[in-house]
Amino acid sequence: MQPTTHREVHLYVKSRKAITSFYRGSAAQLETTSARGDIAQGAGSSGGTNLSPDVGEAETALILPDEQSRAVSMVEELAPPRGYSIKLIDVSRSGLVKKFLDTHLGSVEHYPVLIAPVTGKRLEGPEAFTESALLDLLPADLTHLRAFTQLKVDPHQVDAIRNALLAFVEVKEIHLITGEWDMYLVLEFPTGKTSGKREVFDFVLQKLAKIPGVQDFATMIPEYSVTKFPI
């Protein structure tokens, strides 16, 4: 399994007003702007988000409309567990509006806007922030090893074999297919210090192959996997 790489998404919001103080509201759990109007570069908090600005400086709390706050909350919930840090930028801040409108946000009419710089994909407006849309925009490295096994089985024992397979926690999906093979299985194993490949083959040879009615089998193990499904 390849190591997870650092990824960042940019979340642009438009606040009703910005209050400069030493108090930071919930939206400011993410990176925002300093009292000088610069994009803050701070240390990371738990979950992969960035804090700003330097200790001792005044900080900015954002006052967001409810629909934008809901979208920010969804991104906070889904992005960090999938390996993404979040840069939150308020375009209403003095000195920032023109800069952003002159660049890739020139056509934006509704905030918030979420942009994945690596792919260029974006979500615009509160209605676009659904769980399925966020998962599509934020593909994640799988934290468990997946393997895929094809089985040829006795057609008179399909139900018994299916029930036997369901008893194994490693078997996550069972698909009945047509053609040379009869069943397609999705297997999942926790990853540790080793690649886990031997564990997969031990499971197939010692467990699956010994199920009555299984006549033949073949297993594929990917070198790297990414998913758009919840993790």
41: confidence class by pLDDT, cuts 50, 70, 90: very low
**Phi, psi torsion values for 190, nearest 5 degrees:** -65, 145
Domain hosting 106: range is: 7-138
Which of 131, 75, 140, 137 minimizes the C-alpha distance to 89?
A: 75
62 and 154 housed in the same domain? no
193: confidence class by pLDDT, cuts 50, 70, 90: low
Residue appearing with tokens 């240390």 = 43
Q: DSSP secondary-structure letter at 5?
A: P
- Does a structural domain hold residue 2? no
32: confidence class by pLDDT, cuts 50, 70, 90: very low
126 and 173 housed in the same domain? no
Query: Can you give the CATH number for the domain in which 174 is found?
Result: 3.30.70.920
The pLDDT value recorded for residue 117 is: 80
- Does a structural domain hold residue 1? no
The pLDDT value recorded for residue 109 is: 79
The pLDDT value recorded for residue 209 is: 97
35 and 132 housed in the same domain? yes
pLDDT for 190 beyond 70: yes
Greater model confidence, 44 or 147: 147
Consecutive H or E run containing 202? helix 197-206
128 and 157 housed in the same domain? no
CA distances from 149 to 32, 98, 182 (A): 47, 55, 11
* Total count of domains within the chain: 2
The pTM assigned to this predicted structure is 0.68
